[in-house]
């Protein structure tokens, strides 16, 4: 006996998003972003009980075999028959699949889950056998942004998203505690008090599912949704389609026969909150906006002349920057020994002698390069920002034929600004370099913390960190502070490369000293 869904206090937006996904599973799941301990798991379990659907909680450390399925060794040994046993994805069919801390889930498994959620099936291929497994489920993921962000490409794959906060209303918190204690004391009696509400909600959802395809869309809705997606600056057409579908599910839930703009407005935040690229500030009138834009451009041209990327004289060393010897820097993959279950059991049955047999697989290795560019006042003064841009541009060209993703962090005005996160398109990196701001102090310690956030949300096999700076860091940060911070937050970095842009007669040599302490590769840029 689980806590009744209708007895849960608060989290109305999350409840609505879950119910709409149950009415129309093609919406693509729900991403819950926010605090821990707010009853997310309880809410999903309660809904699975109400709708009599399976609930599967997928741990972030689950193996591929556990998620997708594997060869059934029991049948192979006892019955001498080859059968594939379904994994958690198959068990979640027609139910709920929940992943807590989804931002820490392996990228490969994430792609499998999202593909299965969108298509309603997946192919299980093991030991030469292949089987199509039906897997239609409501995919729910939750995450705390403080523990690492989810890549934008993955966020967009979730149909709806909600932001969950801890209840701050005293009366609501008291109500939560009282209901929980009453349920723990006598689950059956407590559930009986809400049984009628549970039955009514069940019937309401089932009726909405039956009526979904009968709902009509008014002409004004198409225009409104498309214009809304354009105004919010979303990429692609997925948001447009989801606005239509979600509004239709919302109308079915409220027993409406036609979708109007009113219904779209009621659900648009669920679709757009994790996709919108629109600024939170209200834009000024067109004339004023144009004047302000021209004024800012003029001020920028007067105060910060634009520095085109310049390739340093010692560019020859770029060819070996990620290599440890004479070999090329292309990492094709690493050999991974796994047990050949079919051959092992077959030999055991034939010879009555147990011996493990292995098969060699090549596990692909994706490279991830995180650039930290020092765009502080000292770099700007000596015009070394241009050389820093040149380094990034040249390195990107060298990596163009390799499976590589890029992140970009800028050190400016005593802050570490994350400009780009885990993007495979290097042209975007180049575009952001053109708009890079300059000035202020260099807070390299903050940048190492931002690197940690990026690494938590990206599980690539090889993460390389490139720091381009003159080493003139904030005076309040000691050398030992910088070293200890890097060692604590950047444990997952495979290789650290330091480009020293310090220029002048008197030099501090911090970058070179840092490279020796952290055992990093060191390059001195020659203007």
User: Which of 330-334, 456-460, 482-486 has the highest mean predicted lDDT (pLDDT)?
Assistant: 482-486
* Structural domain boundaries enclosing 250: 213-272
Tokens of 498: 């330091």
Q: Is the predicted pLDDT of residue 25 greater than 80, yes or no?
A: yes
> 89 with 152, same domain?
yes
Q: What CATH number is given to the structural domain containing 112?
A: 3.40.50.300
Backbone φ and ψ for 59, nearest 5 degrees, come out as -70, 145
Q: Is residue 283 part of a domain?
A: no
pLDDT (0 to 100) of residue 34: 80
Q: What is the pTM of this model?
A: 0.59
Give the mean model confidence (pLDDT) for residues 185-202. Answer: 89
Residues 6 or more apart whose CB falls under 8 angstroms from that of 130 comprise 123, 124
Q: Examine the residue annotation and report whether 238 is marked as an active-site residue of this protein.
A: yes
Q: What CATH number is given to the structural domain containing 442?
A: 3.40.50.410
Q: Give the other-Cβ count within 10 Å of 76's Cβ.
A: 20
pLDDT (0 to 100) of residue 461: 57
Q: Is the predicted pLDDT of residue 313 greater than 80, yes or no?
A: no
Domain boundary among 148, 172, 196: 172
Question: pLDDT digit string (tens) for 263-275?
Answer: 889 988 998 888 8
> 248 with 105, same domain?
no
In which band, very low, low, confident or very high, does the pLDDT at 347 lie, cut at 50, 70 and 90? low
Q: Is residue 516 part of a domain?
A: yes
pLDDT (0 to 100) of residue 250: 92
Give the mean model confidence (pLDDT) for residues 131-136. Answer: 72
pLDDT (0 to 100) of residue 305: 47
State percent of the chain over pLDDT 90.
5
> 155 with 257, same domain?
no
Domain boundary among 117, 151, 172: 172
> 520 with 386, same domain?
yes
Q: Is residue 197 part of a domain?
A: no
Burial 352-361 (b: 16+ CB within 10 A, else e): eeeeeeeeee
Residues 6 or more apart whose CB falls under 8 angstroms from that of 362 comprise 332, 333, 334, 335, 336
Q: Is the predicted pLDDT of residue 351 greater than 50, yes or no?
A: yes
pLDDT (0 to 100) of residue 77: 64
Give the mean model confidence (pLDDT) for residues 56-78. Answer: 72
Give the mean model confidence (pLDDT) for residues 447-473. Answer: 81
What is the DSSP code (8-state) at residue 199? H
> 384 with 469, same domain?
yes
Q: Is the predicted pLDDT of residue 125 greater than 60, yes or no?
A: yes
Q: Is the predicted pLDDT of residue 304 greater than 70, yes or no?
A: no
User: Which of 363-367, 450-454, 457-461 has the highest mean predicted lDDT (pLDDT)?
Assistant: 450-454
Alpha-carbon distance of 175 to 42, in angstroms, equals: 16
> 510 with 452, same domain?
yes
Lowest mean pLDDT among 32-41, 119-128, 208-217: 119-128
Q: What is the mean pLDDT of the chain?
A: 76
> 56 with 150, same domain?
yes
In which band, very low, low, confident or very high, does the pLDDT at 181 lie, cut at 50, 70 and 90? very high
Give the mean model confidence (pLDDT) for residues 476-496. Answer: 88
Question: pLDDT digit string (tens) for 415-433?
Answer: 888 888 877 777 777 777 7
Q: What CATH number is given to the structural domain containing 240?
A: 1.10.8.80
Contact 407, 501 (CB under 8 A): no
Q: Is residue 279 part of a domain?
A: no
| Active-site annotation holder among 173, 238, 248, 275 | 238
pLDDT (0 to 100) of residue 318: 47
Burial 57-69 (b: 16+ CB within 10 A, else e): ebeeebeeeebbb
Q: Is the predicted pLDDT of residue 526 greater than 70, yes or no?
A: no
Q: Is the predicted pLDDT of residue 511 greater than 60, yes or no?
A: yes
pLDDT (0 to 100) of residue 24: 87
pLDDT (0 to 100) of residue 92: 80
Give the mean model confidence (pLDDT) for residues 510-520. Answer: 90
> 29 with 157, same domain?
yes
Q: Is residue 160 part of a domain?
A: yes
Q: Is residue 136 part of a domain?
A: yes
Q: How many domains does the chain have?
A: 4
Q: Is the predicted pLDDT of residue 102 greater than 70, yes or no?
A: yes
Q: Is the predicted pLDDT of residue 231 greater than 50, yes or no?
A: yes
> 354 with 426, same domain?
no
Question: pLDDT digit string (tens) for 141-170?
Answer: 888 776 666 776 677 778 888 888 888 889
Give the mean model confidence (pLDDT) for residues 502-506. Answer: 73
Give the mean model confidence (pLDDT) for residues 64-89. Answer: 69
In which band, very low, low, confident or very high, does the pLDDT at 326 lie, cut at 50, 70 and 90? very low
pLDDT (0 to 100) of residue 254: 92
| Residue 103 burial by Cβ neighbours in a 10 Å radius (0-12, 13-18, 19+) | buried
Q: Is residue 26 part of a domain?
A: yes
What is the DSSP code (8-state) at residue 411? E
In which band, very low, low, confident or very high, does the pLDDT at 123 lie, cut at 50, 70 and 90? confident
What beta strand segments (E) does 181-287 contain?
Answer: 216-217, 258-259
> 154 with 228, same domain?
no
Lowest mean pLDDT among 17-31, 329-343, 502-516: 329-343
pLDDT (0 to 100) of residue 4: 87
Q: Give the other-Cβ count within 10 Å of 292's Cβ.
A: 12
User: Which of 26-40, 214-228, 386-400 has the highest mean predicted lDDT (pLDDT)?
Assistant: 214-228
Q: Is the predicted pLDDT of residue 294 greater than 60, yes or no?
A: no
Give the mean model confidence (pLDDT) for residues 475-492. Answer: 88
Domain boundary among 172, 188, 221: 172
Q: Is residue 304 part of a domain?
A: no
> 232 with 135, same domain?
no
> 110 with 240, same domain?
no
């Amino acid at each position: 006996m689980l806590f009744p869904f209708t007895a849960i206090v608060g989290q109305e937006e999350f409840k609505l998003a879950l119910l709409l996904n149950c009415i129309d599973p093609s919406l693509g799941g729900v991403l819950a972003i926010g605090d821990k301990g707010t009853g997310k798991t309880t809410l999903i379990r309660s809904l699975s009980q109400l709708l009599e659907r399976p609930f599967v909680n997928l741990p972030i450390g689950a193996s591929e075999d556990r998620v997708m399925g594997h060869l059934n060794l029991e049948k192979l040994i006892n019955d001498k028959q080859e059968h594939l046993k379904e994994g958690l994805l198959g068990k979640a069919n027609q139910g709920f699949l929940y992943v807590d801390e989804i931002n820490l889930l392996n990228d490969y498994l994430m792609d499998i889950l999202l593909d299965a959620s969108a298509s309603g099936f997946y192919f299980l291929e093991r030991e030469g056998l292949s089987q199509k497994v039906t897997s239609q489920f409501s995919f729910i993921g939750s995450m705390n942004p403080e523990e690492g962000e989810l890549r934008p490409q993955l966020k967009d794959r979730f149909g709806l998203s909600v932001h969950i906060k801890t209840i701050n209303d005293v009366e609501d918190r008291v109500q939560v505690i009282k209901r929980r204690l009453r349920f723990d004391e006598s689950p059956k009696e407590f559930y009986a008090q809400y049984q009628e509400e549970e039955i009514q909600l069940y019937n309401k959802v089932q009726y909405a599912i039956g009526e979904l395809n009968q709902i009509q869309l008014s002409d004004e809705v198409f225009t409104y949704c498309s214009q809304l997606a354009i105004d919010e600056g979303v990429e692609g057409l997925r948001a447009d389609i989801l606005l239509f579908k979600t509004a239709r599910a919302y109308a079915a839930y409220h027993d409406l026969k036609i979708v109007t703009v009113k219904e779209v407005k009621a659900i648009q935040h669920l679709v757009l909150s994790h996709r919108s690229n629109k600024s939170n500030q209200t834009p000024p009138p067109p004339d004023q906006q144009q004047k302000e834009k021209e004024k800012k451009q003029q001020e920028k041209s007067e105060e910060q002349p634009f520095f085109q990327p310049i390739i340093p004289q010692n560019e020859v060393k770029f060819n070996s920057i990620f290599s440890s010897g004479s070999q090329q820097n292309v990492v094709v993959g690493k050999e991974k020994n796994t047990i050949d279950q079919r051959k092992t059991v077959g030999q055991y049955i034939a010879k009555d002698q147990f011996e493990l047999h292995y098969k060699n697989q090549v596990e692909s290795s994706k490279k991830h390069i995180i650039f930290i560019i020092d765009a502080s006042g000292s770099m700007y003064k000596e015009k070394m920002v241009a050389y820093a841009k040149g380094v990034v541009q040249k390195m990107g060209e060298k990596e163009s034929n390799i499976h590589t993703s890029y992140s970009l962090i800028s050190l400016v005005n005593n802050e570490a600004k994350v400009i780009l996160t885990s993007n495979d398109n290097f042209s975007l990196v180049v575009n952001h370099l053109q708009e890079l701001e300059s000035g202020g102090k260099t807070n390299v310690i903050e940048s190492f913390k931002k690197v940690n956030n990026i690494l938590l949300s990206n599980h690539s096999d090889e993460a390389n960190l490139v720091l381009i700076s003159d080493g003139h860091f904030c005076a309040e940060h000691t050398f030992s502070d910088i070293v200890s911070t890097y060692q604590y937050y950047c444990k997952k970095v495979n290789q650290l490369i330091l480009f020293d842009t310090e220029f002048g007669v008197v030099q501090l040599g911090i970058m070179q000293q840092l490279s020796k302490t952290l055992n990093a590769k060191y390059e001195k840029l020659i203007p």
